[in-house]
A and B are shown apart, each in its own frame.
Chain A
Amino acid sequence: MSRIGVFVCHCGENISRTVDVERVAKEAGEIPGVAYSCDYKYMCSDPGQNLLKKAVAEHNLDGALVAACSPRMHEKTFRKAASAAGLNPYLCEMGNIREHCSWVHEDREEATAKASDIVKFMVERVKKGKSLAPITVPVTKKALIIGGGIAGIQAALDIADAGHQVVMVEREPSIGGHMAQLSETFPTLDCSQCIMTPKMVDVANHPNITLYTYAEIEKVDGYIGNFQVTVRKKARSVDESKCTGCGVCMTKCPKKKIPNDFDQGHGMRTAIYVPFPQAVPNTPVIDRQNCTMFQSGKCGVCQKVCGPGAVDFEQQDTLTVESVGAIVVATGFKLYSIERKPEESAIQGYGEFGYGTIPDIIDGMTFERLASASGPTGGRILRPSDGKEPKQVVFIQCVGSRAREKGISYCSKVCCMYTAKHTMLYHHKVHDGQAYVFYMDARTPGKGYDEFWRRAVEEEEAVYIRGMVSRMYQRGDKIVVMGSDTLVGVQVEIEADLVVMATAVQAQDGADLLAQKLGISYDKYNFYSEAHAKLKPVECATAGIYLAGACQGPKDIPDTVSQASAAAAKVMTLFAKDQLERDPVVAKVNEKYCVGCLACKKVCPYGAVEEREIRDRQGNLVKVVANVNPGVCGGCGTCQATCPSKSVELDGYTDEQIMAMIESL
């Protein structure tokens, strides 16, 4: 027989005005298993809490029900008090007779009857309750950063500076990401590489950071505090430990006309290459698809000229397993292209712009490379088709963005600002040139942003035309841009020498595949989903994984850096303790009855359920059952409602507790 104490609160007059608290307390005392009941003016006050503590001791209570306000208000208070009195906090519950009763009903008789009912079924709940202990999970104080762009770099440096180990994995041969490609940055027009490259070097030199470039995530196991991550280091064909970065191999490589992705295909590189001179690490990689040695077996010049003997044609991919406690995903974005898309694709290209077949229609990143001092034109604005300096440049915003008919409805956020920047850069470099901008809205929320935009319009003589472009075609060496000026209400036709499109920011290729490996969710555009749009903007719903930068949605550099530092702060919070404590309201599997249908695994929003093999002493497989990882379980209980045999049970909300409540109604 239980020994439960029931404490009915008056809440001043808030409850007692409409509920006969004395009668509720008296009736509670008559419920089987209730050993003590009383009413008190303010249960939450110190004397009230002491009353509870004293009763637990004096009456040897094994459960407590405080009938008062909403548990959302004071459950923690009373559980703490119960705990102080030696009662397991999860055996102390609250009956909500204020918000759900006295405040919403006027009739004293009805309200009192309802309050008594609430006490009755909550007592049943306490009776069937179990002592629960907080779950502790050990924490490996090492973080994995996926992506070596500005987001990953910022997060890595913050965490490493705090004294924790960091592993950074970058897919490309060098870290730096998109920011390393930019010419100048808004709204200050400072040189991107000047502020970026020192940070890249910091990463390379930081004693707490292990850097894997030209590497990808192969597999992720484990859970918060305890991830095991398998990293595939792709064969670089150059031994990083031997290479001194002298670059002789590159100067001697006979294959010199390979379009360089870093320059958006407009500059050329060799088959053994570093993507750009300031690359970190400054170790070349052999592009095997374009290397004569790999394609025909003849050449090997780079190997011959390499002093330290670092070139290794036999090198294979290697797999490394890293144990980490937290993961920051910072995989960035890619730019939309107007090319024709496969028929089944939800996103369409721009046939009206010629599907990318007109050479002098370029995207914003290509313009960045043209404008960059380290770019293929040495910073001169020269158009791709014939290398002439364009005198009329049309910039088009929202290409692919906010274009529901093309399959993307979101705003890419950075284009208004960078297009304004482009018009300025153009104006600074081609004094007799004219920039036109087709735009829908100028969106410039940010410190100094609108001022910057106004400068482009008012001082730098960019002509802004509010309207869309309907068609572009080549006429002679000009591109005819047909559009509308919706403010004036006329059709506009401009003969441009160069067109720069602000194409949409999209999730990286393979973002969905990485998400599946990590067990995090993503939206229909493959941007990763944060746990809460407002209150948990850097956390994933999967515990221990955090987001930084444009992989979560289009972002500019300041926002990206802020989010990266925020993610780093979250990681450091996690690493501040050796053990992670979690609310014990989690699901447990009864392995005796579980038959391993894994319906629970299918519905679990957290990916907390995995398969577990049960073997006999000889090692023979007896059966496969579900196993809930308490470190990952969020405690929703969807598994239990789904399990046909109820072999998985959510602590704190067991079937026994709920059935007992229903029976008592």
Chain B
Amino acid sequence: MTPGKKNLLTYSYYPGCSLHASGREYDISTQALFKALNLGLKEVPDWFCCGATPAHNVDELLSLSLCAKNLSLADQVEGDLAVACAACFSRLKTTQHHLKEDDTKRHQVETAIAGPASLGKPVKHILEILARDFGLARLEESVKKPLLGLKVAAYYGCLLTRPPEVPELDDCEDPSIMEDILRALGAEPVKWSHRMECCGANFTLSRPGVVLKLSNAILTSAQEAKADCIMVACPLCHGNLDIRQESINKYGTPEGSLMGNIFGSDYIPGSEDGARREMPIFYVTQLAALAMGVPTDKLGLESVIVDPRPLLYEKNLL
């Protein structure tokens, strides 16, 4: 941050584990985007895992306490809490929601974390910050390099808007916030069917067959809608759609069937014509930062599996 230059808005920042590991590009591009938009972003000190999807399946109190502790850590940093990962966002919001509703649980959690639970801190997803706090109009004005001609399938996944009473991000079943942002960036959102379907999320290790099946359906749908690429706002979705693409493409082949057998899936997907183009998967922050004119070497484009650079080159965006 340039000293002396005042930020428009300042946020505390909870990146979450993925953004420090498999989803580093999301972290890098988020930081770059915020800087470009003159938004302050200060990482919460000593944050740790939110428990993601596994914890609350095992121990509710643990999952609530993990998030409650992170929230109280976040209280030390000024500004609403910016969260990039859909799972972290969901868990942190869910925790606030549950603890507000249930005094007994709040009491238990406060005992567990030896301190008050911070229920008042607004937890905001990056999408919300871009579309609402910063505002679509201002976002559009800030664009230096509009993403003209880029057809994007905006993929929400299952956690960003559900259950409706928790994230309060947009219409639970028919949201438009990602499309709105894409339009502001100059890109063309496509109409497609699978934007709200689950990618398989954390079955990625335990039941990869399920992931392959679900992710394949999403990729197929995007392709049928003539999208050039998919935009996501979650590192888990990104992982499944990006990293698994090679396996998915092989899935229809004898090699893939073998894999399917190993993973115990009874379903052999694969596009009907057998030919699948590689579908680049972008984080919302990558596309936004690109449109803001952030140098392309600061977007982490090189570290994803399906290389998006040929596409961007083709569209004159590199």
Contact = CB atoms under 8 A, between A and B. Distances in A.
A351 B174 contact: yes
Interface stretch (A458-466, A471-479, A539-547, A643-651): A471-479
B173 A475 contact: no
B217 to A, nearest CB: 9
Contacts of B194: 473
B224 A475 contact: yes
A352 interface: yes
A74 interface: no
A214 interface: no
A33 interface: no
Nearest to A352: B173
Interface in A126-160: none
Nearest to B225: A475
Interface in A364-383: none
B85 interface: no
- Give the one of A350, A355, A471, A473 with max B CB within 10 A: A473
A352 B196 contact: yes
Nearest to A473: B193
A474 B193 contact: yes
Contacts of B141: none
B172 interface: yes
- Give the one of B172, B173, B224 with max A CB within 10 A: B173
A105 interface: no
A480 B196 contact: no
Contacts of A475: 193, 224
B78 interface: no
Contacts of B196: 352, 471
- Give the one of B171, B174, B196 with max A CB within 10 A: B174
Contacts of A247: none
Interface in B166-205: 171-174, 193-194, 196-197
Contacts of A391: none
Contacts of A351: 171-174
A199 B157 CA distance: 55
A473 B197 CA distance: 12
A354 to B, nearest CB: 7
A340 B174 contact: yes
Nearest to A355: B174
Interface in A468-491: 471, 473-475, 480
B193 A480 contact: yes
Chain B contact-residue range equals 10 to 19
A471 B195 CA distance: 11
Contacts of A355: 174
A351 B161 CA distance: 12
A350 B193 contact: no
A632 B194 CA distance: 60
Contacts of B171: 340, 351
B176 to A, nearest CB: 10
A335 to B, nearest CB: 20
Contacts of A352: 173-174, 196
Interface in A487-501: none
Query: Which applies to chain B's interface (DSSP): helix, strand, loop or mixed?
Result: loop
Contacts of B193: 473-475, 480
A170 B218 CA distance: 52
A471 B196 CA distance: 9
Interface residues of A, number: 12
Interface string B216-239: 000000001000000000000000
A306 B172 CA distance: 55
- Give the one of B164, B172, B193, B224 with max A CB within 10 A: B193
A212 to B, nearest CB: 43
A350 B224 contact: no
B122 to A, nearest CB: 20
Interface in A399-423: 405
A354 B191 CA distance: 12
A474 B191 CA distance: 10
Contacts of A471: 196-197
Nearest to A350: B173
A215 to B, nearest CB: 39
A452 to B, nearest CB: 34
Nearest to B170: A351
B141 to A, nearest CB: 28
Interface string A383-405: 00000000000000000000001
A355 B164 CA distance: 16
A562 B224 CA distance: 55
Contacts of B172: 351
A354 B195 CA distance: 12
Nearest to B161: A351
B224 A354 contact: no
Interface string B27-41: 000000000000000
B4 to A, nearest CB: 42
B196 to A, nearest CB: 7
Nearest to B174: A351
Interface in A269-305: none
Contacts of A405: 164
Contacts of B224: 475
A338 to B, nearest CB: 10
Nearest to B173: A351
A475 B225 CA distance: 9
A352 to B, nearest CB: 4
Contacts of B173: 350-352
Contacts of B164: 405
A352 B196 CA distance: 9
Interface in A332-367: 340, 350-352, 354-355
A474 B164 CA distance: 24
A354 B224 CA distance: 18
A340 B171 CA distance: 10
Nearest to A475: B193
B222 to A, nearest CB: 13
A301 B208 CA distance: 71
B210 to A, nearest CB: 11
A475 B221 CA distance: 9
A480 B220 CA distance: 14
Contacts of A350: 173
B271 to A, nearest CB: 14
Nearest to B197: A471
A475 to B, nearest CB: 6
A350 B174 CA distance: 9
B161 to A, nearest CB: 9
B99 to A, nearest CB: 22
A352 B161 CA distance: 12
B207 to A, nearest CB: 14
A445 B194 CA distance: 39
A121 to B, nearest CB: 47
A354 B197 contact: no
Nearest to A493: B217
A355 B174 CA distance: 8
- Give the one of A340, A351, A355 with max B CB within 10 A: A351
A121 B192 CA distance: 80
A382 to B, nearest CB: 25
Nearest to A472: B193
A395 B224 CA distance: 26
Interface in A47-69: none
A352 B197 CA distance: 10
B173 to A, nearest CB: 3
A475 B196 CA distance: 15
Interface in B77-92: none
B301 to A, nearest CB: 31
21 contacts: A340-B171, A340-B174, A350-B173, A351-B171, A351-B172, A351-B173, A351-B174, A352-B173, A352-B174, A352-B196, A354-B174, A355-B174, A405-B164, A471-B196, A471-B197, A473-B193, A473-B194, A474-B193, A475-B193, A475-B224, A480-B193
Given A352-B174, A471-B196, A473-B194, 10 more contacts: A340-B174, A350-B173, A351-B171, A351-B173, A351-B174, A355-B174, A405-B164, A475-B193, A475-B224, A480-B193
What 4 pairs between A and B have smallest CB-CB spacing? Answer: A351-B173, A351-B174, A473-B193, A352-B173
